[in-house]
Amino acid sequence: MSPRTARRLGWNAVGIVVFVTMVFPVFWMISTAFKTDDQLNSVTPTWVPTHPTLRHFRDALARPYFWTDVKNSLIVVLVTVLIAMALAFFAAVALSKYRFTGRKLFIVLMIGIQMLPATGLIIPLYVVLARYHEVNALTGVILVYLTFALPFSVWTLRGFIIGIPKDLEEAAMVDGSTRLGAFMRILFPLVAPGLVATSVFAFITSWNEYIWARTLLNDSSKQTITVWLSYFLGTSRSTDWGALMAASTLTAIPVVIFFLLVQRRIAFGLTAGAVRG
């Protein structure tokens, strides 16, 4: 064996150890969800459930408010994404196709707002929403989610629109269409994948959101799925770990599927241009 091959084998071994360590918590969640109670309560862990059971999933689904809160999450997330996309799309067009006074300020605000920690805004938004009786209402949560979904969508969509070749747009203008008209007919289909990717990412952030939902929604029947999951542990000493891991798996599934679809498209948005810049 040449030293080169030996070294590569060594790195591969390290790579596999890192893989196992990183993925273990996810594996452990899924594996736990299928274990029998005996295997769960034993001090010596069972690594792979030999007699998988679906009982924990049934228990989790039968818990009060699971479906109600899934429905709440879906309403909040879908409305947020729809409004964010509709408004952000036009702003993104303006940013990428026009130069105008205040453009720079607008960009700074869009990026800066995304950096603000949610906790820093809880007090003022809570007080304002309480004044307009939007506490404990899904509308209030949707409005708050727009504060981060909008800037994010504007900035990300801008990146997708810039990626479109200028000659395509110009070709349409030669035909005598107005600028916006040309844009709509020719470029909209080209931007569609970007719109999908941005929507999915806004979907994930809103679905995962916790602090706002917990602060603004008090009724069990009005909460979102992440809040439902966070209350699962309760205060009793005998936690139903199997059902908790089954519920966790169920909460993660939609996010994981969506994330795998768009990760490549969006992931570099945050640092895009850093390499070229």
Partner 1 sequence: MPYLLVAPVVVVMGAILGYPIYNLVRLSLQKYGLTELIQHHGTEVGLHNFGTVLHDQVFWHTLLRTIVFTVANVGLTMVIGTLMALLLVRVSTWVRILLTAGLVLVWSMPPVVAVQVWNWMTNSQNGVLNYVLTELHFGNFFQHNWFVTPFSQLAMVTTLVVWGALPFVAITVYAALSQVPHDLVEAAQIDGARSWRIFRDVTMPVIAPVLLILTSLSILWDFGVFTQAWLLIGPGHIVPSNFLMGIYLYEEGYVRTDFGRGAAISILMLVMVAAMSVVYVRRMLRIGEVE
Per CB under 8 A, which of residues 210..269 are in contact with partner 1?
210-211, 215, 226, 229-230, 232-233, 235, 239, 241, 244-245, 247-248, 251-252, 255-256, 259-260, 263, 267-268
Minimum gap (Å) between residue 21 Cβ and partner 1? 9
Minimum gap (Å) between residue 84 Cβ and partner 1? 9
**Three-class SS of residue 162?**
helix
Please answer whether residues 75 and 141 qualify as being in contact, where contact means their C-beta atoms are separated by less than 8 angstroms: no
Which of 68, 75, 106, 184 lies at the binding interface for partner 1 (CB under 8 A)? 106
Site for partner 1 in 25-44 (CB under 8 A): 25-26, 28-29, 32, 40-44
Residue 93 binds partner 1, judged by CB under 8 A: yes
d(CA 31, CA 126): 40
Q: Which tokens is 12 given?
A: 């591969």
Please answer whether residues 223 and 217 qualify as being in contact, where contact means their C-beta atoms are separated by less than 8 angstroms: yes
From 54-62, 71-79, 112-120, 187-195, span contacting partner 1 (CB under 8 A): 112-120
Q: Which tokens is 134 given?
A: 């939007």
Minimum gap (Å) between residue 10 Cβ and partner 1? 9
Residue 96 binds partner 1, judged by CB under 8 A: yes
Minimum gap (Å) between residue 107 Cβ and partner 1? 5
Minimum gap (Å) between residue 143 Cβ and partner 1? 5
What residue has token string 């948005």? 269
Q: What share of the chain is helix, strand, coil (3-state, %, to 5)?
A: 75, 0, 25
Please answer whether residues 85 and 151 qualify as being in contact, where contact means their C-beta atoms are separated by less than 8 angstroms: no
Q: Which residue's CB is nearer to partner 1, number 108 or number 168? A: 108
Residue 95 binds partner 1, judged by CB under 8 A: yes
Q: Which residue's CB is nearer to partner 1, number 198 or number 215? A: 215
> DSSP code of 45?
P
Which of 74, 179, 190, 196 lies at the binding interface for partner 1 (CB under 8 A)? 179
Q: How many residues at the interface with partner 1, by CB under 8 A?
A: 102
Closest CA to 163 of 193, 201, 202: 193
| Total residues belonging to the chain | 277
Tally DSSP H helices, then E strands, for the chain: 13, 0
Residue 14 binds partner 1, judged by CB under 8 A: yes
